């Protein structure tokens, strides 16, 4: 995919606790995030929402259906790995878009 930000509107950057953090690349999605309950945080230039595991499943489902991506990485519990775990536990279903980086501004997207 390369660094074509037009194909990625937003991606989940953190979801391991009770907070889900989203980075927006296409500002047209911000109104939908706000309407859903996300709040913008200037200091981190990201959107956040609180939620327990049940709420996290609903939020992940909504974000996936909105075309959001879930960050993946080689270690820890990135949002993509959390999505896969919740899917294995039958708390989520279906494919999602995973985003990973080869380097600065050089990402690729996979369907998982």
The answer to whether residue 87 is domain-embedded is yes
91 within some domain: yes
User: Please, which residues bridge with residue 21 across strands?
Assistant: 14, 48
Q: Report strand pairing: 97-103 vs 69-71.
A: parallel
Q: Does residue 62 sit within a domain? A: yes
* 110 is a domain residue: no
Contacts of 46 (CB under 8 A, 6+ apart): 13, 21, 22, 23, 24, 40
pLDDT digits (tens, 9 = 90+) for 3-37: 444 489 999 999 989 999 999 999 999 999 999 99
Res. 75 pLDDT band, cuts 50 70 90: confident
Q: What does pTM read for this prediction?
A: 0.90
Domain membership of residue 112 (yes or no) is no
* Secondary structure letter of residue 54 according to DSSP: H
* Residue 108 maps to a domain: no
Hey, which residues does 103 pair with through a beta bridge? 106
Residue ranges making up the domain that contains 54 = 5-103
Provide the domain count of the chain. Answer: 1
């Amino acid at each position: 995919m390369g660094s074509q930000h037009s194909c990625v509107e937003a991606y989940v950057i953190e979801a391991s606790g009770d907070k889900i953090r989203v980075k927006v690349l296409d500002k047209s999605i911000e109104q939908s995030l706000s309407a859903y309950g996300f709040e913008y945080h200037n200091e981190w230039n990201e959107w956040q929402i609180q939620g327990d595991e049940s709420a996290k499943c609903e939020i992940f489902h909504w974000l996936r259906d909105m075309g959001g991506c879930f960050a993946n990485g080689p270690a820890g519990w990135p949002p993509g790995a959390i999505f896969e775990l919740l899917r294995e536990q039958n708390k989520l279903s279906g494919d999602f878009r995973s985003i990973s980086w080869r380097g600065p501004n050089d990402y690729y997207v996979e369907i998982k």
